[in-house]
Amino acid sequence: MKFTVHPLFFAVIIFCAFFGGFPVSIIFALTALLHECGHVFCAARLGYECSRIKLMPYGAASVCDIDGIKWRDEVRLALAGPAVNAAICVALAGLWWFFPAAYAFTDTIMYASLAMLAVNLLPAYPLDGGRVAKCLLARFFSPRTAEIVLRVVNVLVAALFAALFFLSSFNITYLLFALFLLASACEKSVPAVRINYASRAALRRGMEVKTVLVEGDITVKGAVRLLDDRRYLVLRSAADGREISQDELCEVISQKGIYDRVFD
């Protein structure tokens, strides 16, 4: 697994050092890395592959191949990062109980872990709490309804942090975070899921096959509607029993128009 650093991260560190916040910025960066390590280890335990961890100006982010992940596993994966922060807080509280003098050397670590824990549990996407909310909403509502609810929540949480910006004597951190959430709320959804999404990691885990019995004159447009990002599609013609796999369908789509017949 690779570890990369965004160029702007160094700019942020230099900016913080200029105002005397170098140690605090390093502690927050290390806390973010530990948070992402929780996601990576959980993903590996669940059988998913993570290619790298990126240290970003605003924290850290792990890049994992989780195509086809079940909603329960995604909830566990989302909560793994905050669980690491919670464990750090509990460990430090125990340390302070037995060795009170350690507080002077570890208080910033506690504050960074608490902040990371509290922020990531907010039900705003793409934070961990937002990912959990998205999974739960998708269980009870249509994808479109769940998306609208998440966008509204993002706007409300962004408004809250914008208010904190004014109440905290113009702390720029609150304003930047509000803009980040607002941008996430305004971001357009991907117009279509990937059609041929199967990867080696997904195949190693095993992939569910969805066989659909269709009319022999089904069009490319109708076939595309049957695709999803969790199962491998196989179309079977009710007229003569012919079958076409998802990979073959990809070839058909590249060669025909949307109103052409798939089985011709």
What tens digit of pLDDT does each residue of 104-117 get? Answer: 889 999 999 999 99
Global pTM? Answer: 0.68
Nearest to 160 by CA among 130, 119, 129, 114: 119
Q: What percent of the chain has pLDDT over 70?
A: 91
Does position 4 have pLDDT exceeding 90, yes or no? Answer: no
Could you tell me if 244 and 234 are in contact, meaning their C-beta atoms sit under 8 angstroms apart?
A: yes
For 186-212, the pLDDT digits (tens) are 765 544 333 344 455 555 666 788 888
Radius of gyration of the chain (CA): 23
Alpha helices (H) in the chain, listed in sequence order? 7-18, 22-46, 71-98, 103-120, 128-140, 143-167, 172-186, 200-205, 220-224, 246-255
Determine how β-strand 232-237 pairs with β-strand 209-214. parallel
Closest CA to 187 of 233, 239, 141, 130: 130
Q: What is the pLDDT of residue 203?
A: 58
CA distance 261 to 246: 15
Task: List all residues 6 or more positions away from 24 whose beta carbon is below 8 Å from its beta carbon.
Answer: 16, 108, 112
Number of CB atoms found within 10 A of residue 55's CB: 18
What span, in angstroms and rounded, lies between the C-alpha atoms of 28 and 116?
9
Token pair of 75, please? 């909830």
